[in-house]
Structure 1
């Protein structure tokens, strides 16, 4: 069996979730070969429509096409060949999209980098990916990328000032001044406005690698997942048809575009629908709420922590969310209490979803006309139903399937899977045995096909021989009216081996001391699951994509 192949002799092969999908959701899709094909189709049918909105700046599809053509021409003239790796390190701005499309038009594979990476993290990826070019902000270049690139295979550098293409300079997220333009790099907008023709011989196919997306590196060095163009367009098309909004609608980029969720569910899906992508540099609750009021988006997707922050903002009102037809959450677990609190306070129902970098964002989601069930035994909210072309199975440590309702590792097969890990054949063989992704997540599926994620396999706490899944404890904490964020980890304990510790942040104006929170859990959980220690922090540490950094909490 290869990628997308049939699974035989399996209780999951019958795909019980199909019966819960509509005819439209089950219908076959024929995605274009690449996001560039989608983009060119959007340019052809709506050239003057706004493609990118950035504070008060606007770029049409035709303008974005011309700018990215010129970037592609310059990259090709500088020696970037088909298949070369171009590292891209920018925030949510039009510069990111112009650079991304330009690199693809030059035939390159894009390596998205988190702008929060420090020198050592960036150096590892530039070396590991054998990057031929880097496109980054001028501030990052001056701070450390220049020195990092000098010791790497990078031979072409392009920099951008992300204050350009807008005039508001909102200090909440754009609180930095313009630097003198570096004299040892190409300037992205100067290149984009030069009118270079894009190379005509760089056409990409569905099988070509679009992205080398580096995992977060929670265990060991980050690995580069090779996401093919066809996986991006397949998931973008399923997003467009499965979560329909009108053609040309506004999509708000709440998730960062360098993250696979933002790349596929926001950017690629928006382009597939010839929509407008609204950008706001990076996440700030007040800035995002202002952007909602200005752009009136129909769709957004983000981590649960972003919705917690928006709900906690003192200026948030129901009107801010009135334009949304679909709000999705991905990248981090969604507590059931958050979904209900958000709906009660602001109106929209947050639709859960599940995916990984290795499956090019979603492989399961809650359809728009349905609501995710909550498992009565554990209180876990379902992450949704797999897609019609996807097979999700639950297996034990030996790879044998477990019955519906029993816990095991989630494994995924389908057309959205990555091709494996860049230059890591052993890790590819272990992570994609026979073309099926071993996710490392523990979960279960009910007989109707609803998928539940319990926790990461490596996050399980062993307290005196009892298994404790942090997610179950976190879901209880989220029901406390004072709790804004919660994260539970195992810490060493001389008697029990490990014991449960909870870290929480509180809602603005709320009060709760550690003893109260520990007692609240003790009333609702078995004694071995209840946190022995609770620590209240002003903020929990997070990645820029909104995931709570448990490894930092463990190291405290």
Structure 2
């Protein structure tokens, strides 16, 4: 293979890195030993040092052991960004457990699938989510539920005011939890855990650290199996790309959710590996982010395009000083060039587009942060990452400029899908991961994506698979036929549109469908647009032609642009 991209590497980046032999949790142990008093986490005014983060993670590990959790067991973490999420993550790893990152936005239906599929017997969740978790227990193997609250790590007097603020923001949510038996309070769990680090033997190349659920390149949600080595590798690759950063001196803004593999790798794991100060936020609120940047002076701000768009559109952005930011890597969705240029004008460093997928831990490509940026490109493959464009016609490696399917190979690529050998075989071939994305490589080794995975919708950085949404729509008693596509959206990148044919004599309003979907799907998956039709375009054998609807939407968009002009 001709690795043209290596000729475009800066001198500071090696094509091959030394990844060592330590498991992921060892980097927290190392940080606590070398920088015990340094702030590891800043959370809404509360700070934890590396020593405290390490000790509480070890306590959590030992508490899990006392509940019967052992190496290889799955522990679900259903939390927003907060200290408990980091403690539970690393605590599970210290014990040799496998973290199952669980989106707090999941509905009961989605949660049931993930818990049942993963076989998780322990979950840690927010008190506001306890009702959902309790309802999901009937079809899962859960034995222990650990419950925490945002106020558990808020400083005085915020911890006292929090219940009143929460009640005002969520008046319909009632927190009614009876502790005891298999329902445990997080703070009490920590108190019972010993402070001696478990001596767990880890084979970093084989032992799983994480099950990260994704739709994959096709079909319903599957658990991506990532080892300690996969995750260590991708964090170290990130460090090599950010070669101007210094251990112990960076401040990383944690606005990306840690339950998403991108935030988990480039913020949490990379941050702890480099002994950075992580300023973490439980949710993305543009004004709060601006205030946080102004006050805490982060040097690194990994994010998604929707985040940068929201900040740029905030009416008071000029009131805040964002000049501390040296580097931003944008992931999860394509980054519009105009957004990149505008955001770079308000920071002192670079905003560059990267590319990855959950199956690769997740990053495989990025533009140069400190060098030449190529518009419209996803950049160069990261160190030790092999890439190929496979011809759609022959399956052989395509020539530069020729469009084909992007395939990647490297030490960050997953082991496969959890209990899904056929799905694994469909995307992993001789170590090569078939991404399902169509693109090309130019003469200088820069890669470009021209079309995303077939049918996949990316809205606000979240992957949405039409089949899952369509199945919910088909459950509605008035719906005869349904098909879902992604349509352009100026803020979310794409949004979900549903085309529906109702049953004869049936009637249904958009409001009814919206309520129905949001009861069964996370809010970001629910359609935002509905169109009712008498029939849908189909093949001769009755298969709905989704692509025809996509083309119709493109034509509508083009016509609208002509009118505006």
Counterparts of 2:48 and 2:197 in 1: how far apart (Å)?
23
1:410 corresponds to which residue?
406
2:559 corresponds to which residue?
518
Equivalent in 375, 380, 387 of residue 385 of structure 1: 380
Counterparts of 2:167 and 2:290 in 1: how far apart (Å)?
13
1:256 corresponds to which residue?
257
Counterparts of 2:216 and 2:440 in 1: how far apart (Å)?
25
Matches within 5 A, 1:4-403: 13-26=1-14, 28-32=16-20, 33-141=22-130, 143-167=131-155, 168=158, 175=169, 179=175, 181-184=177-180, 185-198=183-196, 200-207=198-205, 208-216=207-215, 219-244=218-243, 245-248=245-248, 249-317=250-318, 319-346=320-347, 348-374=349-375, 381-397=376-392, 398-403=394-399
Call closer, same or farther: CA 1:181–1:460 in 2, change over 3 Å.
Answer: closer
1:428 corresponds to which residue?
424
Report the RMSD for the aligned CA atoms in angstroms: 3.0
Call closer, same or farther: CA 1:521–1:404 in 2, change over 3 Å.
Answer: farther
SS across alignment from 2:435 = strand
Counterparts of 2:242 and 2:280 in 1: how far apart (Å)?
20
Counterparts of 2:224 and 2:491 in 1: how far apart (Å)?
33
Call closer, same or farther: CA 1:65–1:199 in 2, change over 3 Å.
Answer: closer
Counterparts of 1:318 and 1:236 in 2: how far apart (Å)?
34
Call closer, same or farther: CA 1:434–1:372 in 2, change over 3 Å.
Answer: same
SS across alignment from 1:18 = helix
Counterparts of 2:72 and 2:88 in 1: how far apart (Å)?
16
Q: Which moved more, 1:173-182 or 1:290-299?
A: 173-182
Q: Which moved more, 1:294-303 or 1:172-181?
A: 172-181
Could you list the runs of 5+ residues in structure 1 that have no partner in the other structure? 1-12, 375-380, 462-469, 478-482, 504-513, 525-556
Q: How far is 1:497 from its partner?
A: 3.8
Q: How far is 1:96 from its partner?
A: 0.1
Q: How far is 1:214 from its partner?
A: 0.5
Call closer, same or farther: CA 1:154–1:354 in 2, change over 3 Å.
Answer: same
C-alpha deviations, 1:70-122, integer Å up to 9, x for none?
A: 11111101110100011111001101001111111121000001110001111
Counterparts of 2:448 and 2:312 in 1: how far apart (Å)?
25
SS across alignment from 1:444 = strand
Counterparts of 2:361 and 2:70 in 1: how far apart (Å)?
25
Q: Which moved more, 1:99-108 or 1:16-25?
A: 16-25
SS across alignment from 1:39 = helix
Call closer, same or farther: CA 1:521–1:58 in 2, change over 3 Å.
Answer: farther
Counterparts of 2:186 and 2:233 in 1: how far apart (Å)?
30
SS across alignment from 2:424 = helix
SS across alignment from 2:416 = coil
Q: How far is 1:41 from its partner?
A: 1.1
Aligned residues: 479
C-alpha deviations, 1:503-541, integer Å up to 9, x for none?
A: 9xxxxxxxxxx99973426899xxxxxxxxxxxxxxxxx
Counterparts of 1:213 and 1:321 in 2: how far apart (Å)?
33
In 2, are the aligned partners of 1:386 and 1:392 still within 8 Å (CA)? yes
In 2, are the aligned partners of 1:296 and 1:324 still within 8 Å (CA)? yes
2:480 corresponds to which residue?
none
Counterparts of 1:133 and 1:328 in 2: how far apart (Å)?
34
1:487 corresponds to which residue?
494
Q: How far is 1:19 from its partner?
A: 1.2
In 2, are the aligned partners of 1:300 and 1:327 still within 8 Å (CA)? yes
Call closer, same or farther: CA 1:29–1:520 in 2, change over 3 Å.
Answer: same
C-alpha deviations, 1:18-66, integer Å up to 9, x for none?
A: 1111233115322242221111111111000011110100000101111
In 2, are the aligned partners of 1:110 and 1:210 still within 8 Å (CA)? yes
In 1, are the aligned partners of 2:17 and 2:384 still within 8 Å (CA)? no
SS across alignment from 1:411 = strand
Normalising by structure 2, report the TM-score. 0.78
Counterparts of 1:214 and 1:334 in 2: how far apart (Å)?
24
Call closer, same or farther: CA 1:499–1:124 in 2, change over 3 Å.
Answer: closer
Could you list the runs of 5+ residues in structure 2 that have no partner in the other structure? 458-484, 500-535, 539-544
In 1, are the aligned partners of 2:217 and 2:453 still within 8 Å (CA)? no
In 1, are the aligned partners of 2:41 and 2:83 still within 8 Å (CA)? yes
